[in-house]
Amino acid sequence: MLAALRSRKSAPQGDRLNFTRSMAADLARAYNIEDLRRLARRRLPRMVFDYYDGGAEDELSLQGNRAAFERLRFAPKVLRDVSRVSTGCEILGAAANLPLVIAPTGGAGFSWPGGDVALARAANAFGIPCTLSTATTATVEHIAEQAGGRLWFQLYVLYDRDYTAKLVARAAAAGCEALVITADLATGGKRERDFRNHFEVPFRLGLTHILQACTKLHWSWNVVTRGVPAFENLRGLVPPGKASADAIASSVGRDIDASLSFEDVARLRDTWKGKLIVKGVARADDAERLIRTGVDGLWLSNHGGRQLDGAAAPIDLLPSVAAAVGGRVPIVLDSGVWRGSDAVKACALGAQAVAIGSATLFGVAAAGEPGARRALAILTDELVRTMQLCGAASIGEITSDLIAS
């Protein structure tokens, strides 16, 4: 099947037009993020969908992240003037249109050509920051040139510290305003869906994958005509050849320096001139120590349930961490953010913004940049509705008393 596709110079114009019309109609009928997830599942081979959708081991944390948000209930205020609602806010010292940040999601190009650029462009269009993963399928320079906007760079500190230093320098030269150090990846999580699918990075197509691809012709066409995506920022780091069994689905994890420490964060603070955030924080004592180290922000995360299975949901940890921080630095929170109302809950409990990963990633997987924009439009609509129904006309009016005790 793939060989036959390769022999053709281009897809028929009519087929492309029909696909575009169908995609637009599907997006118009996507009323929530779960609808976009279903569209992505319909379009992608199982191996790629599961790579995006899955969590570690029994996926307890993956499921628990959503359950934690769903347990929270509002105590709405009434008889407030919410005829006009402002979602404008400050994120990390600069104005934003929404209390949202696009989280780093590696391998967006596995689902759609130029997926990483699509995410950044959508973020720029909505006036929010976009965090570029170390493991993007386009270079940081290319994304910055093509998308613009407020870009943050998420950093995996690698065994090869010279390579790591070069990544930091490249992010600075590309104009990234913030460096986001991932601290919760001492080793790759055990993502069992990916083991079962024999999904590995560098991306390889085996017989099982080709059979899956036979039913996903549009995805297959893009792979054949555009080539197999790769982690462009990491070219030259991973040696060629067959990945070992423990590298399947955790190829970035095998290159992470497990000795990463507070002292390393302090050294990066000395060299990085922009804003510095540490991602993966879960404890008040770690937050306190990081503040003393000089970070500009804290990012509560359990990596979306993809690393330590059984890790607590960040939204459950937020009140204690926010109390310890006392407003000295802003807090961003991810993991399980699926609705605009989740942003209201997080802001009420002390976060400055929430970071969304799966929501916009599924949007891209469903329809490229229009899909990412649709995801952000859905979340924006839900955010505004929730604020109106809770009696909050601005982000500043989202206070802790809106959460039922």
CB 375 within 8 A of CB 36: yes
Q: Which of 297, 244, 247, 299 is nearest to 275 (CA)?
A: 297
Cα–chain center distance at 277? 15
CB 352 within 8 A of CB 91: yes
The H-assigned helical ranges of 8-59 are: 13-28, 33-43, 46-53
Residue 303 among the catalytic residues: yes
CA-to-CA distance for 219 and 293, rounded, in angstroms? 46
Structure tokens at 321: 């961490």
What would the DSSP string read from start to end of 186-252?
Answer: SS----HHHHHTT--TTT---HHHHHHHTT-HHHHHHHHHH-----GGGTTTSPSSPPPGGGTT-TT
CB 392 within 8 A of CB 77: yes
174, burial (CB in 10 Å: exposed 0-12, middle 13-18, buried 19+): middle
CB 136 within 8 A of CB 143: yes
Q: Which of 198, 209, 218, 303 is catalytic?
A: 303
CA-to-CA distance for 237 and 250, rounded, in angstroms? 15
Neighbours of 196 (CB within 10 A): 13
* Strand 94-96 versus strand 89-91 pairing type: antiparallel
CB 119 within 8 A of CB 129: no
To which residue do tokens 């998420």 refer?
A: 154
- Could you tell me the sign of the dihedral formed by the alpha carbons of 28, 359, 403, 332, in that order? negative
Q: Which residues are catalytic?
A: 303
